[in-house]
Amino acid sequence: MTPIVMLVGSNLFMTYAWYGHLKDLRGRAVIIAIVASWLVAFFEYCLQVPANRLGFQFFSLAQLKVIQEIITMSVFAGFCVIYMKQSLKIDFLWAGLCLLGAAYFMFRGFTLPN
């Protein structure tokens, strides 16, 4: 569970670094938004790199990627609604169901080692 919790934290930083400037720095020069995003992304990588190293002990690379995408979409949905005050459309649900399908195929037959 530790890698997954770390990936959630990483995605919180990543999502803010990618999209937070659209709300918080929209009146600033783009170079300021870039530098601010890089500073936030530093903390993303401080969680993401060790999370993937830990996770790779249990999951395949493809499984890690699918986990990452599911976390990314989940965090992004919350970010859109809570922070950016955007509404989600039904297409977001369909995309999420496609990701669940991807997870099913990547993890069928998978068991965690004891």
- Name which residue leads in pLDDT, 36 or 107: 36
Q: Which residues contact 91 (CB under 8 A, 6 or more apart)?
A: none
- Is the pLDDT at 114 greater than 70? The verdict is no
Are residues 79 and 73 in contact, defined by beta-carbon separation less than 8 angstroms?
no
Are residues 16 and 40 in contact, defined by beta-carbon separation less than 8 angstroms?
yes
**Rounded (5°) CA angle 100-4-110:** 55
Provide the 3-class DSSP secondary structure of residue 45: helix
Are residues 112 and 57 in contact, defined by beta-carbon separation less than 8 angstroms?
no
Q: Tens of pLDDT along 60-99? A: 898 898 889 889 989 999 999 999 999 988 998 898 888 8
Q: Which residues contact 68 (CB under 8 A, 6 or more apart)?
A: 7, 11
- Model confidence at 105, pLDDT cuts 50, 70, 90, reads confident
Domain definitions of the chain by residue range? 2-107
Q: Tens of pLDDT along 35-69? A: 999 999 999 999 999 999 999 999 989 889 888 98
Report the Cα–Cα distance between both ends of the chain, in Å, rounded.
13
Which amino acid belongs to residue 84? M
